[in-house]
Amino acid sequence: MSDRIERPVFFEGQVLGASDLESSVEYGRGHMARHERYLHTWGIAYGLELSGEDRERNSTKYKDITVSAGVASDGTGRQIVVPESERLDPELFLDLNIAREGAWHPVFLVGRDEDPAAEPLIETTCGTTQPRRKVEGYEITFGRPGDELELDEQTSPAASGGPDGGWKVLLGFVKWNSTIERFSDLADSSGGIGRRYAGALADEVVARGGVLSLRSAAATENGKPIVVVDEADGGKLQFGLQTNGVVQPVFTVKASGDVAATGTITGKLTTGVVYVESGVAYDGMLVPLPAGITEDDVEAGQVVLHVSVTPRYPGSPKPSGAGNWIPIVAECLAVGRRVRCRYLWTKDLTVAPTYVNGACDYLVVAYVPASSGSTS
């Protein structure tokens, strides 16, 4: 059962003990941790990128890998700060005894509370010394291939709990060369699992200036997608690419219901609409479907097809040989959408008639009935 939250209070003349002051600090830490844990998703907030510098050892190339400075928030609500770039330690990797040649090993960041160096200390009345600080530190460690699959199985503290240690934040992956005992490669993701960035849990997002933007990257990165909800012109929603933080719209929906797009809009078929396609087909061919109609639409019964074919004289090349050859339609029909078209060429009773595969004109009419379930 979770403990109820207690807020420290003080009064004049109170003798303050260490626990009183400690509870003041823990109250604030717990409050912030619950905010981070329940109103945000855990992950990287800034930096913490893996980068490699090519090196060579015993004529074999390897990478000297570094984690950049940055900030992450873990699933307990703990903020983890890496104040400066830090090199991945090959000796630590060896000590863990997890190496698998050619496999991707996850790199984790874990928050840890640590005791500070010897300074500063204070001597108590009993002659003992106690540290006056606690370092909110971290550890960069490695996992076995596949350990990244267990990230979502980590357990958060109880509802009233404060920040805790031990939660793993994935920074990326490394490969290991056992011959020279060094890292050989690095990557941000493996098998579809990669770095996770911190986000927000919100059922409502409110803009104070009348414009709400959703960006895929920082405002200074031109050419990136952006969605904007704007109160201007009675209200509109726009999607496009950003230039200096301003959307260059390719799709706009106004509050009045008007839709404008610079490209093609595709979607469900409109009921009551007739689609038509015509052209020339040869024996054995499948006549094409009208633009906007797909094989899936036909198979799902969302459209009704009508296929009509007519002979196209002469329809086929004349057989070799002198004389006045006359083409006669022997067969011209559509079986489903498959064309069957043959012509019989003849010139007199002394020469046997010749059958030749030929061409015909086709007309395909696709009708979308109201019973198809399409929206109008």
Provide the pLDDT for residue 266. 67
List, for residues 264-322, the tens digit of each pLDDT value: 776 667 777 899 999 999 999 999 999 888 888 888 888 899 999 999 888 777 777 66
Q: Give ∠ CA 175-181-186 in degrees, rounded to 5.
A: 20
The pLDDT value given to residue 349: 65
Task: List, for residues 126-157, the tens digit of each pLDDT value.
Answer: 555 677 788 899 999 999 999 999 999 999 99
pLDDT at 115: 83
Pairwise CA distance, residues 347 & 326, whole Å: 6
Q: Pairing between strand 338-346 and 326-335?
A: antiparallel
> Which amino acid, residue 230?
D
Contact 272, 368 (CB under 8 A): yes
The enclosing H or E element of 33 equals helix 18-39
Domain edges within the chain: 18-198, 210-261, 274-372
Spell out, as residue ranges, where the chain has pLDDT lower than 50: 121, 372-376
- The pLDDT score that the predictor gives to residue 374 is 41
Strand order in the sheet with 60-67: 50-57, 60-67, 86-87
Q: Which amino acid does the sequence have at 376?
A: S
> Angle at Cα 32 formed by Cα 31 and Cα 38, nearest 5°?
90
Return the pLDDT at 271.
76
Asked if 20 contacts 10 with a C-beta cutoff of 8 angstroms, the reply is yes
Assign 3-state DSSP to the chain and report helix, strand, coil percentages, each to 5.
10, 45, 45
pLDDT for 163 = 92
